[in-house]
């Protein structure tokens, strides 16, 4: 536990933690407020869709979808930045020289990342709800659904699903940077993987729905079937049932951490 808390304190002081969170929060708030401000009450399809974004209780789910979707990209970058720094800055080498287990050190480092992701999701969600309330007032939309009891009852489960999904995406970036032993290479490869999966959804939708970012998005919904997730580049992927997707999220997460552990245990440490 000492190593975990030490890693967590280290992350709270890292600029990458607050820059990543600030960008995600800023984008979410800007988009929601801008959408609310431009929903002028006309009966066009565009304005109806805009009002839908700031209408509660549905706004809760759409905020979480945004966090899991775009937030997944930020999680990949963040995970890669943290893992890459362990190699590039020589902190892993120093820990091993003190007698720490490589596997234990890397896994506890990722556990710290997972907790930071959880903190970031909660902060982003709260800011998103506030922005949606502001957007609703700008769009002259009632906020009577803000206290909808069934939605609020389901909210903790959906937040937990979102955290689990985003942690899986962060684990991919963490593993890629570990294999590359470089921050820049890990971030670049992670971004390429994210957009490559989106692009592949146009041509290989039946395969892409099992890929890590697609299952992360599918796991967020509480419906059992018939859902679709955004495939990027104008495409849509028929999503897996939420519970099945959640299992695959766990498989991708555990698989990524196993690869990280095996590589860290056998790799030559330089720097």
Q: Give the global pTM.
A: 0.88
For the chain, which residues make up each domain, given as ranges? 2-146+164-196
In this prediction, residues 243-256 reach a mean pLDDT of 95
> How far is 182 from 126, CA to CA, in rounded Å?
34
- Cα 250 from Cα 84, distance rounded (Å): 23
The pLDDT of residue 271? 53
Q: Give the DSSP letter of residue 56.
A: T
Per-residue pLDDT of 77-132, as tens digits, reads 999 999 988 887 778 888 888 888 889 989 999 999 999 999 999 999 999 999 99
Interhelix angle 149-180/58-88, rounded to 10 degrees, is 20
pLDDT tens-digit profile of 191-217?
Answer: 999 899 888 888 888 888 899 999 999
Please check the confidence at residue 224 and state whether its pLDDT lies above 60. Answer: no
Choose the weakest-confidence range: 65-79, 90-104, 130-144: 90-104
């Amino acid at each position: 536990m000492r190593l975990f808390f030490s890693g967590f304190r280290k992350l709270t002081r890292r600029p990458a933690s607050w820059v990543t969170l600030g960008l995600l929060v800023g984008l979410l708030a800007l988009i929601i407020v801008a959408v609310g401000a431009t929903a002028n009450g006309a009966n066009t399809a565009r304005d109806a869709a805009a009002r839908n974004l700031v209408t509660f209780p549905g706004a809760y789910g759409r905020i979480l979808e945004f966090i899991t979707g775009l937030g997944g990209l930020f999680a990949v970058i963040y995970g890669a930045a943290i893992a890459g720094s362990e190699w590039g800055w020589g902190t892993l080498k120093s820990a091993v020289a003190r007698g720490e287990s490589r596997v234990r050190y890397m896994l506890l480092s990722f556990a710290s990342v997972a907790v930071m992701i959880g903190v970031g999701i909660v902060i982003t969600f709260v800011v998103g709800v506030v922005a949606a309330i502001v957007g609703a007032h700008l769009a002259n939309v009632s906020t009577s659904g803000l206290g909808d009891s069934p939605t609020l009852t389901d909210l903790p489960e959906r937040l937990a699903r979102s955290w689990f999904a985003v942690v899986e995406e962060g684990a991919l970036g963490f593993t890629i940077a570990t294999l590359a032993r470089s921050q820049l290479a890990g971030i670049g490869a992670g971004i390429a993987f994210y957009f490559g999966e989106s692009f592949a959804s146009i041509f290989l939708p039946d395969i892409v729905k099992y890929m890590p970012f697609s299952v992360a998005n599918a796991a967020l919904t509480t419906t059992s079937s018939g859902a679709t997730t955004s495939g990027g580049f104008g495409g849509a992927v028929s999503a897996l049932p939420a519970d099945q997707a959640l299992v695959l999220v766990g498989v991708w997460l555990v698989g990524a951490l196993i690869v990280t552990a095996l590589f860290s245990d056998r790799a030559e440490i330089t720097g």
